[in-house]
């Protein structure tokens, strides 16, 4: 089995570092970006198996970035990271996200949320 590559786009360094540490335990390879611009640049240069995208990147919302990501790579699943418990399945479908992981999350919640989108 090849190592899966995940991009984490979150404006909070502590979240990015924690997620990278969690994913390293499971042997996932990770890149991270603080801004949507940095994330889009990485996506245009690399192939990712999954993108973890913070819903609120400063003044930019995930729903404004997803179409740009899918323009670069239409097949990559995007999982939203958010503390907004009001996000629904219908909302995810409308914005083109594959799933959601609510902050704060436990290690097992993160791994379970990611694993179901990486199954081949």
- Give the mean pLDDT of 17-39: 95
Given a cut of 80, is residue 120 above it in pLDDT? Answer: no
The span from the CA of 41 to the CA of 26, in Å, is 26
Helix (H) or strand (E) holding 120: none
CATH class of this structure's domain 5-118: alpha beta
1 pLDDT band, cuts 50/70/90, is low
Q: What is the pTM of this model?
A: 0.93
* Cβ within 8 Å of residue 36, ≥6 positions away: 9, 57, 60, 65, 68
61 pLDDT band, cuts 50/70/90, is confident
pLDDT score recorded for residue 85: 83
Q: Contact, 73 vs 48, CB < 8 A?
A: yes
| pLDDT tens digit sequence for 2-25 | 789 999 999 999 999 999 999 999
């Amino acid at each position: 089995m090849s190592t899966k590559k995940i991009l984490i786009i979150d404006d909070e360094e502590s979240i990015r570092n924690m997620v990278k540490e969690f994913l390293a335990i499971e042997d996932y390879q990770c890149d991270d970006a603080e801004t949507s611009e940095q994330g889009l640049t990485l996506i245009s240069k690399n192939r990712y198996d999954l993108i973890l995208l913070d819903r609120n990147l400063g003044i930019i919302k995930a729903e404004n970035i997803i179409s740009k990501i899918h323009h670069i790579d239409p097949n990559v699943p995007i999982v939203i990271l958010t503390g907004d418990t009001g996000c629904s399945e219908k909302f995810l479908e409308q914005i083109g996200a594959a799933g959601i992981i609510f902050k704060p999350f436990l290690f097992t919640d993160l791994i379970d949320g990611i694993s179901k989108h990486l199954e081949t």
